[in-house]
Amino acid sequence: MTAYLKMDEPDRRNRLDSMAQGVIGQPLDRMEGPLKVSGTARYAHEWPVERLCHAVLVRSTIARGHVVRIDRSPVEAMDGVLAVIDDDRLLRNPAQGTAGKAPVQGPREIFYVGQPLALVVAESFEQARHAATQLRIETMATEAVLDPESESTDRERPEGKQTSQGDLDRAMAEASHSIDAVYHTPGHSSAAMEPHAAIAQWDGDDLTVHASCQMLKYNQEELADALGIDAGRVRIVSPYVGGGFGSKLGIAHDAVAAAIAARAVGRPVALALSRRQVFETTMRRSESRQRIRLAADADGLLTGLGHEALVSQLPGETFSEPVAQATHFLYAAENREIIHEIVRLNRTCAGSVRAPGEAIGMTVLETAMDELAVKAGIDPVALRKRNIPDKDPEDQRPFSSHMLDQALDRGAELFDWQRRRPEPRSTRRGEWLIGLGMSSAARVNSLMQAESRVTLGGEGVRIETDMTDIGTGTYTVLAQIAGEMLGVPMDRITTVLGDTDLPPGPGSGGSWGASSTGSAVYVACEEIRARIARKLGCRAEDLTLKDGHAITGNRSTALGELIGDAPISVRGVVEPGGTSKKVRQSTYGAFFAEVAVNDVTAEVRVRRMLGVFAAGRILNAKTARSQCLGGMTFGIGMALTEELIHDPRDGSIVNRDLAEYHLPVNADVPQLEVELLEERDPWASPIQAKGIGELGISGAAACINNAVFNACGVRVRSYPVTLDKILAEL
Amino acid sequence: MHTQLTINGENHDLEADERTTLLDALRQHLRLTGTKKGCDHGQCGACTVIVNGRRINSCLTLACMHDGDEIVTIEGIGTATDLSVLQQAFLSADGFQCGYCTPGQICSATAMLEEVKAGWPSHVSDRLDGAPELSDEEIGERMSGNLCRCACYPNIVAAIRAAAGSAA
């Protein structure tokens, strides 16, 4: 039986709040935690498979051109080698998130350094790795486009991604205070700890792939389409995913190549990308050039706002980093101009890295807002509060809920912001200059179609969906929703995830996973409650479910007794509807940081950092907090160390490993503080929850950069804020 | 090539290519997949195991170099139903999210606490002799060879602090 909800109207019943189990929102430990801390959670490359052989990719060393010839026979004769494969179906680029069809294929045409061209399959990993180094591929190079800011390269301005309202030039001319500045952000890598990997095995015409994927419903379609087979013949299994952050949204080289190879050699094949291959062949976040124009009156009220962004992408790809996504609605200003430009380059494919758009767009906008605050002599918190719109400033839609004002106030209070001294270089501890900075956080919110099966049996509850848990807490939060709705203790709930044989959901991405699939679980549970009520002859509203008992009036019945041998199984389906269009939905927050800048070396250390966030109902205070910690730490990396460096001669990524691409390490991150605000958003979902996985990065780097300015008086407009850039001005 | 290894107290006779790293021997040959491969270049710490009492990156050493060595992996530290104090502390403090770096973090922290007990100083220690105090700064410094992209560092520090406190 199926229960269905289309989210056409806001749900203000807040049903989860009137339940009795008391588990929703609680900071419970992760259900799968004991497996993870004991090393027994099984990731893609770890499935025990008989007769497994190993494949290693061989890749392009040129940026543009084509393959002339592959000298396969010397390698085919090597010890243990089973095959050299250059199948036309090998991917050129991985799939973008929610593509649902094959990405661009055909390895003979070369578009970037590092593009996979072939693979070697051998009995052992060591044999395959060595043989791959020996494969000679003759290529013919043609001219590549490599400079994202060259004036001679065409820039695309896609229709529908440009906004012009009022007269920004005039607003700038008439402004009491204005900012017109150009900023740069570098490319970023998701750098999830588990490299992309797949084990593919065929049983007749049926394919099973154990892979590290974020969005199984789409990945199944993408893989099947890439192989030219029916999606019904493809099963993807990903119960544990060692991080994704966007890099595993779409099907990637590993799964497609492993499937082709397994067919070719008639044996299961494992293919794991090396760390360098992860950097060079999976998604990068595009670098950006951003020009911000802010016009304000004497009181700091914005009269004009301009945000122009230039990002890069490979030819033919439709995705481009939506830099100004939150600029459209964050601050009121009558005169607005938002420009989105794309330059086509021969660099690794650009795609989603945690919070595509806001991660760099909010960061730059919030750096510019700090510059305006300084120029106008207005407190940065007050400046933002003054410019919060009461409806979407472009299309006049109301906001579903709006907690920026509260987040700013709460953050200022918790961080003791009033003690900040606005004049740079005001606070010194020995060699170190201390400064405080802040920024706003915002990230768009969306609900996606999702399904989930919930079965209430004598033993407890079972939840099944193809949704993934990439560290997001899915196992636990789905169980908390069902436990609350059905009055079943957590130790009697099983969550089964990450298998395309289960009801499909939108996967983990865009921060929509928990609210979408969680709503599907909720919808199924509401139906189960209705059926229990019918059995007991009462109204669902008069039914209390707690600790495995159904209580109506003064009668208590054990659920096991009530259900007997006939478990109640309901497929819950939720679909976005009118609420996605009628209102503007976003999450909000505020970041505060205290940094120390060394007055001699210009080294920057983050001493304290606070994030205050509002994302609707919090499903689990512990896992939600950890998602925020992760986002804020990405922000520290963006602010201070993370930068993909491209060789100007061929566009290749120079720092393609974890020694040279600097993620924050433990010593870079102080005891971050996270405050989650109480909120219910009735428009967002029937559980009143919004996404939280990306909010913590959306603007975070700016608070650190702004704190650096407050500490030492140097304004860096090119991220990351490395000491060479500060030292030059110190 | 034949190598004899003692892993988690059990003898293993390994027959493997001499190019096989200790990490690949554990994962591919001995099916001890708790030890993770994050970079294969000694840059991330996900493959940390304890060899003769000291934590090392198992990707940076060949299995055949460890004939006769005693190796402890995450599987030897505790099981899902019988967690070590540190494993339980990681669970309670949410010192992980995706879980991929976690076995390396826990092996690293297990050996790190012994290093502190033995009086080893670190870059941030005030003095080079005597027992270092296990401050958050000391934990952060000593655990910086183990990357966590989910970025649970504050929770990892809290877990280690709690485990060290309860063991004392």
Report CA-CA distances (Å) from A462 to A477, A518, B4. Answer: 13, 14, 45
Residues of A in contact with B73 (CB under 8 A): 39
Residues of A in contact with B106 (CB under 8 A): 37
Whether residue B97 and residue A630 make contact (CB cut-off 8 A), yes or no, is: yes
Residues of A in contact with B31 (CB under 8 A): 48
Q: Give the dihedral sign, CA A278/A280/A283/A284.
A: positive
A694 noted as active-site residue: yes
- Find, among B134, B102, B111, B14, the residue nearest to B63 by Cα: B14
Contact assessment for residue A322 and residue A96, using Cβ atoms and an 8 Å cutoff: no
Cα(A419)–Cα(A428) distance, integer angstroms: 14
Q: What is the pLDDT of residue B129?
A: 86
- Which of B27, B150, B157 is best to mutate for the A interface (most A CBs within 10 A)? B150
* Percentage with pLDDT > 90 across chain A: 99
Q: Give the dihedral sign, CA A653/A656/A660/A664.
A: positive
Residues 11-70 of B with CB under 8 A from A: 17, 19-20, 24, 27-28, 31, 33-41, 43-44, 46
Whether residue B38 and residue A665 make contact (CB cut-off 8 A), yes or no, is: no
Question: Assign residue A616 a region: left if phi > 0, alpha if psi is -120 to 50, beta otherwise?
Answer: left
How many other C-beta atoms can be found within 10 angstroms of the C-beta atom of residue A383?
A: 23
Cα(A430)–Cα(A434) distance, integer angstroms: 10
Whether residue A35 and residue B44 make contact (CB cut-off 8 A), yes or no, is: no
Residues of A in contact with B75 (CB under 8 A): 38-40
Cα(A606)–Cα(A597) distance, integer angstroms: 9
Cα(A532)–Cα(A545) distance, integer angstroms: 10
Structural domains of chain B, ranges and CATH numbers in brackets = 2-77 (3.10.20.30), 85-167 (1.10.150.120)
Q: What is the pLDDT of residue B168?
A: 46
> Sorting pLDDT into bands at 50, 70 and 90, what band is B131?
confident
Residues of A in contact with B100 (CB under 8 A): 43, 192-194, 242-243
The DSSP secondary structure of A94-158, one letter per residue, reads PPPTT--S---B-TTEE-STT-EEEEEEESSHHHHHHHHHH-EEEEEE------TT-TTS-EE--
> pLDDT digits over A420-448, tens only?
999 999 999 999 999 999 999 999 999 99
Q: Is the pLDDT of residue B166 over 80?
A: no
Whether residue B17 and residue A195 make contact (CB cut-off 8 A), yes or no, is: no
> Sorting pLDDT into bands at 50, 70 and 90, what band is B96?
very high
Three-state DSSP at A58 gives strand
β-partners of residue A187 are A644
Which secondary-structure segment (H or E) carries B91? helix B85-93
**E strands, B40-130, in order:** 48-51, 54-57, 70-72
Cα(B52)–Cα(B67) distance, integer angstroms: 12
Cα(B125)–Cα(B138) distance, integer angstroms: 7
Nearest CA in chain B to A673: B154
Three-state DSSP at A331 gives coil
Residues of A in contact with B77 (CB under 8 A): 38
DSSP secondary-structure letter at B62? B
**How big is the A-B interface in CB pairs under 8 Å?**
197
Residue in this structure with the two tokens 């700091």, named with its chain if needed: A300
Helix axes A216-227, A253-265, angle to 10 degrees: 50
- Which of A666, A694, A697 is best to mutate for the B interface (most B CBs within 10 A)? A666
Task: State the nearest Cα–Cα gap between A101 and chain B, in angstroms.
Answer: 27
Structure tokens at A174: 């008439």
Summary mean pLDDT of chain A = 97
Q: Is this complex scored with an ipTM above 0.95?
A: yes
Cα(A576)–Cα(A446) distance, integer angstroms: 8
Report CA-CA distances (Å) from A52 to A45, A55, A418, A640, B83. Answer: 11, 10, 63, 43, 32
Residues in chain A: 730
Residues 16-45 of A with CB under 8 A from B: 29-30, 32-43, 45
Cα(B84)–Cα(B98) distance, integer angstroms: 20
Contact assessment for residue A625 and residue B150, using Cβ atoms and an 8 Å cutoff: no
Cα(A490)–Cα(A470) distance, integer angstroms: 21
Three-state DSSP at A549 gives strand
Are β-strands A53-59 and A450-457 bridged in parallel, bridged antiparallel, or unpaired?
unpaired
Give ∠ CA A89-A95-A98 in degrees, rounded to 5. 135
- Which of B24, B81, B100, B138 is best to mutate for the A interface (most A CBs within 10 A)? B100
Within 8 A by CB and 6+ apart from A606, the residues are: A593, A594, A595, A636, A640, A668, A669, A670, A704
Question: Assign residue A473 a region: left if phi > 0, alpha if psi is -120 to 50, beta otherwise?
Answer: left
Nearest CA in chain B to A79: B17
Whether residue B44 and residue A193 make contact (CB cut-off 8 A), yes or no, is: yes
Q: What is the pLDDT of residue B167?
A: 56
Q: Is the pLDDT of residue A246 over 50?
A: yes
How many other C-beta atoms can be found within 10 angstroms of the C-beta atom of residue A580?
A: 18
> pLDDT digits over A696-716, tens only?
999 999 999 999 999 999 999
Are β-strands A335-344 and A302-313 bridged in parallel, bridged antiparallel, or unpaired?
parallel
> pLDDT digits over A654-688, tens only?
999 999 999 999 999 999 999 999 999 999 999 99
Structural domains of chain A, ranges and CATH numbers in brackets = 2-41+448-576 (3.30.365.10), 44-144+190-282 (3.30.365.10), 285-446+582-727 (3.30.365.10)
Q: What is the pLDDT of residue B22?
A: 98
Cα(B2)–Cα(A553) distance, integer angstroms: 73
What is the Cα A450 distance to its own chain's centre?
18
β-partners of residue B56 are B49
Contact assessment for residue A538 and residue A246, using Cβ atoms and an 8 Å cutoff: no
Residues 128-157 of B with CB under 8 A from A: 136-137, 139-141, 143-157
Whether residue B17 and residue A629 make contact (CB cut-off 8 A), yes or no, is: no
Nearest CA in chain A to B34: A39
Give the amino acid at B135.
S
Preceding peptide of A720 cis, ω within 30°: yes
Whether residue A629 and residue B43 make contact (CB cut-off 8 A), yes or no, is: no
Considering only the beta carbons, identify the residue of A29, A125, A472 that sits closest to B91. A29
Cα(A208)–Cα(A42) distance, integer angstroms: 16
Among candidate residues A287, A321, A643, A694, the one labeled active-site is A694
How many other C-beta atoms can be found within 10 angstroms of the C-beta atom of residue A537?
A: 7
Considering only the beta carbons, identify the residue of B37, B100, B106 that sits closest to A243. B100
HSE-CB for A445 with a 13 A CA cutoff: 31
**E strands, B65-168, in order:** 70-72
Within 8 A by CB and 6+ apart from B2, the residues are: B13, B14, B15
Structure tokens at A157: 């301005």
Chain B CB within 8 Å of residue A611 CB: no
Q: Is the pLDDT of residue B108 over 50?
A: yes
Contact assessment for residue B63 and residue B25, using Cβ atoms and an 8 Å cutoff: yes
Task: State the nearest Cα–Cα gap between B167 and chain A, in angstroms.
Answer: 18
Alpha helices, DSSP H, located in A331-403 = 358-376, 380-386
Q: What is the largest CA-CA distance in chain A?
A: 83
Residues of A in contact with B98 (CB under 8 A): 192-194, 240-244, 470-471
Residue in this structure with the two tokens 């952000």, named with its chain if needed: A185
Q: What is the largest CA-CA distance in chain B?
A: 47
- Which of B17, B60, B97 is best to mutate for the A interface (most A CBs within 10 A)? B97
Task: State the nearest Cα–Cα gap between A195 and chain B, in angstroms.
Answer: 6
Whether residue B44 and residue A658 make contact (CB cut-off 8 A), yes or no, is: yes
Residue B85 backbone phi and psi in degrees, to 5: -60, -40
Q: What is the pLDDT of residue A489?
A: 98
- Find, among A109, A122, A436, A482, the residue nearest to A269 by Cα: A122
Mean pLDDT of A404-428: 98
